[in-house]
Amino acid sequence: MTAVRGRTRRYRGGVPAILIVEDDQRIRQSLSSRLAERGHQVDAVGTAMSGVEAAVSGTFDVVVLDLGLPDLDGAEALRMIRSVTDVPVVVATARDDEAEIVRLLNAGADDYVVKPYSAEHLEARVRAVLRRSSSDPEQRTLVVGDLTIDLDAREARFEDRPLELTAREFELLAYLAERPGSMVSKRQLLAEVWHQPYGGADKTVDVHLSWLRKKLGETAAEPRYIRTQRGVGVRLVDPGS
Ligand code: CA
């Protein structure tokens, strides 16, 4: 391989080009067609080696890497990609194994999805990853309904008024707004907003959600933006869509 870091394509907004590395032909085909329908340029390969080669070609904005591939361990494939390019990588794993996920994030993965996952869920993760790696200020502003979140200024506005949020409330709202419509578990929130990868008290999340709700002028009985599902998690939605 002769590719060098400098060749990495820089994401400039628009619909990202996605490389899928997945050996399950059924998943590969259905994901490819769903993402293509949604306007993405998609390429899909079935082995780690072809994935590494395609990833370093510099023609993709993001790589979705299955960890269970026939020819190479997923962590090894990730290491090979990372040694030549800083293209964002979302790893797809069959097990919701926190120790393994933390290991992969430390090894250079940008985010992860747990199988089975939908094309919509993957797309939300891809957008979040690209937003984090982008230097374009427009990419750094999230809009969900009447809610606007400026990630650089760390300011949120709701119905054209500034929202007074604590640092933790801001983190929580931004995390949910990066994945609009996607269900997020409390365990995931504890890991990624509270930085407690081995869990903590769900009550902590509940209390912060109720404070956020209050600031958005809604209640658990009559939710608009913040929709919780008992025992499953929470998602942020645009009530007008
Ligand atoms: Ca697999």
Higher pLDDT, residue 227 or 127: 227
Is 105 within 8 Å of 112 (Cβ atoms)?
yes
Q: Which of 126-140, 173-187, 202-216 bottoms out in mean pLDDT, i.e. has the lowest?
A: 126-140
Is 62 within 8 Å of 90 (Cβ atoms)?
yes
Distance 2 CA to ligand 1 centre (A): 27
Higher pLDDT, residue 117 or 196: 117
% of the chain at pLDDT higher than 70: 90
Q: How many helices (H) and strands (E) does the chain have?
A: 8, 11
Average pLDDT over residues 79-88: 91
Distance 65 CA to ligand 1 centre (A): 9
Distance 241 CA to ligand 1 centre (A): 35
Distance 66 CA to ligand 1 centre (A): 6
DSSP state of 219: -
Distance 134 CA to ligand 1 centre (A): 30
H-assigned helices in the chain: 25-37, 48-55, 74-84, 98-106, 119-133, 167-177, 186-192, 202-215
Q: Which of 15-24, 27-36, 191-200 bottoms out in mean pLDDT, i.e. has the lowest?
A: 191-200
Distance 232 CA to ligand 1 centre (A): 26
Q: Which domains does the chain have, with CATH numbers?
A: 18-133 (3.40.50.2300), 138-236 (1.10.10.10)
pLDDT, position 6: 37
Under the banding of pLDDT at 50, 70 and 90, the label for residue 2 is: very low
Mean of pLDDT over the chain: 87
Distance 62 CA to ligand 1 centre (A): 19
Distance 106 CA to ligand 1 centre (A): 21
- Residue 200 above 50 pLDDT? yes
Distance 68 CA to ligand 1 centre (A): 4
Under the banding of pLDDT at 50, 70 and 90, the label for residue 4 is: very low
183: left (phi over 0), alpha (psi -120 to 50) or beta: beta
Under the banding of pLDDT at 50, 70 and 90, the label for residue 3 is: very low
% of the chain at pLDDT higher than 90: 51
- pTM, full prediction: 0.61
Higher pLDDT, residue 207 or 56: 207
Q: Which of 15-19, 83-87, 95-99, 176-180 bottoms out in mean pLDDT, i.e. has the lowest?
A: 95-99
Distance 22 CA to ligand 1 centre (A): 6
* 43-77 pLDDT per residue, tens: 999 999 999 999 988 889 999 999 989 999 888 99
* Tokens read off for 137: 């200020």
Share in percent of the chain as helix, strand, coil (round to 5): 40, 20, 40
- Residue 179 above 90 pLDDT? no
Distance 28 CA to ligand 1 centre (A): 10
Distance CA 197, CA 112 (A): 14
Under the banding of pLDDT at 50, 70 and 90, the label for residue 138 is: low
pLDDT, position 188: 84
Mention every residue, 6+ apart, whose C-beta is less than 8 A from residue 65: 21, 51, 74, 77, 78, 81, 89, 90, 91, 92, 109
Distance 21 CA to ligand 1 centre (A): 9
